[in-house]
Amino acid sequence: MPNYYQEKWETMSRDEMRAYQDKTLVQQVKHVYGNAPYYRALMDKKGVAPGDVKGTEDLHKLPFISKDDLRETYPYGMLAAPLSDCVRIQSTSGTTGKRVIAYYTQSDVDLWDECCARAIVAAGGTKEDVVHVAYGYGLFTGGPGLNGGSHKVGSLTLPMSSGNTERQIQFLVDLKATILCCTPSYAAFLAESIHEMGVRDQITLKAGIFGAEAWSEEMRRHIEERLGIHAYDIYGLTETSGPGVSFECEEQTGMHVNEDHFIPEIIDPKTGQVLPDGERGELVFTSITKKAFPLLRYRTRDICVLSRKTCSCGRTLVKMAKPMGRSDDMLIIRGVNVFPSQIETVLLGCGFEANYQLVVDRVNFTDTLEVKVELTPEMFSDTVRKIEGREREVTDKLKSMLGITAKVTLAAPKSITRSEGKAVRVIDNRESKI
């Protein structure tokens, strides 16, 4: 039996949802135009007045906004509510440039928490559950988002944050956690450590809510098998509030977008043209309910597909496929587009652990790709011939998946650094050689 946190919104008819979005979008455009001078200037430049947007069919008239705009307007430029009405900020890590700061009014926080509560309930969560949140707390949105959602559901919430893996496992055992929330790479690390500590039979988890980084279906199976749980995907970004923009239900075939808060579009990243449902392109979101930091037509750079196929869970919210990764995570190697998640699919499909690293370099003006992957302890004790055979198998499979030859290096167990948050999979040495 499917459970909903807010059945009315999650199962609303398409027509009703559309009518709601139309009305709310019109109000939001007026709010942003009236209160965010930077966006008003963008609209004026494009020759669009708030009155030109009469509903979602006019969304395409609005200018896009990108991370560059947010950097340019740092720290207050996109704020659309008085600072005195704001109760919270969250922020991106700033590893790829200046930080982006997102502001929240109390009502923004409440709506965000509700979005996360929908994700927890869709994963089978109730007030009887113990929700172990091992996403980072602080400026990162993962911890605070799932924490807020868990409170709304009424579950006992363990605000573990990331790191200190032994203590995490101790709490999982002692407090009999039933739902684990963290990045998929950290879930794989926890699973590995649980087996090593010999406490797998004391783990009472039934579900995991994993997101914040691209992960493959093979990674899902890997975690599900090792922890004996159902693993659900969750998506979001700081700019749109954090986790809970979309979430997976029991069907586990993509994430329902909370369309009563975020209108998704897929565009051609080169031309900006809106693409029909079912076509792959860049995901763009318009937040229609947020007051302090409401971004209209925000280009996420995530490459994705939307689908309106009926879902057996009864939710009518449009579904987005697992994003393959950001367009800026995409590696171009000898002219070929490569997503790290494709390589993950091959490695896990060949029975390796989820610990790998991609090293990209440029030698004699030619790009090189080295795929380092750890052997499992069982593989490590195989004969040299068997290990060489495995190396050949991975090289061939990568070649047929990617169309290029990668150098495969099989590493000893435990030799690749584990991640406690978002995994760093790629080392691109070409940047220093340009």
Among 101, 212, 263, 398, binds ligand DLL (CB under 6 A): 212
- 262 phi and psi angles, rounded to 5 deg: -130, 120
Q: How far apart are CA 210 and CA 182, in angstroms?
A: 5
Q: What is the DSSP secondary structure assignment for residue 197, as one 8-state letter?
A: T
CB 251 within 8 A of CB 311: yes
Q: Quick one: 386 exposed, middle or buried, by C-beta within 10 A (0-12, 13-18, 19+)?
A: exposed
112 binds ligand DLL (CB under 6 A): no
Nearest distance from residue 375's CB to ligand DLL, in Å? 27
264 binds ligand DLL (CB under 6 A): no
Q: Which of 358, 320, 354, 396 is nearest to 215 (CA)?
A: 354
Q: How far apart are CA 413 and CA 286, in angstroms?
A: 45
Q: Quick one: 8 exposed, middle or buried, by C-beta within 10 A (0-12, 13-18, 19+)?
A: exposed
Q: How far apart are CA 433 and CA 418, in angstroms?
A: 27
Nearest distance from residue 310's CB to ligand DLL, in Å? 23
Which 372-431 residues touch ligand DLL, going by CB under 6 A? none
Nearest residue (beta carbon) to ligand DLL: 211
234 binds ligand DLL (CB under 6 A): yes
236 binds ligand DLL (CB under 6 A): yes
Q: Which stretch binds ligand DLL (CB under 6 A): 68-76, 158-166, 192-200, 230-238?
A: 230-238
Query: Residues 125-164 vs ligand DLL: string with x where CB under 6 A?
Result: ----------x-----xx----------------------
Nearest distance from residue 29's CB to ligand DLL, in Å? 24
Nearest distance from residue 300's CB to ligand DLL, in Å? 5
186 or 352, CB closer to ligand DLL? Answer: 186
208 binds ligand DLL (CB under 6 A): no
CB 79 within 8 A of CB 294: no
307 or 409, CB closer to ligand DLL? Answer: 307
Among 39, 235, 298, 339, binds ligand DLL (CB under 6 A): 235
Counting residues that bind ligand DLL (by CB under 6 A) gives: 21
Nearest distance from residue 119's CB to ligand DLL, in Å? 9
248 binds ligand DLL (CB under 6 A): no
Which 287-306 residues touch ligand DLL, going by CB under 6 A? 300, 302
Q: Which stretch binds ligand DLL (CB under 6 A): 220-228, 235-243, 408-416, 425-433?
A: 235-243
CA–CA–CA angle 430, 432, 434 (5° rounding): 70
Q: How far apart are CA 423 and CA 186, in angstroms?
A: 8
92 binds ligand DLL (CB under 6 A): yes
Q: How far apart are CA 254 and CA 257, in angstroms?
A: 9
105 or 141, CB closer to ligand DLL? Answer: 141
Among 10, 233, 259, 353, binds ligand DLL (CB under 6 A): 233
CB 320 within 8 A of CB 255: yes
3-state secondary structure of 346: helix
281 or 323, CB closer to ligand DLL? Answer: 323
29 binds ligand DLL (CB under 6 A): no
CB 17 within 8 A of CB 320: no
Q: How far apart are CA 61 and CA 297, in angstroms?
A: 10
Name the β-bridge partners of 243. 236
Residues that bind ligand DLL (CB under 6 A): 92, 135, 141-142, 211-214, 233-238, 242-243, 300, 302, 322-323, 326
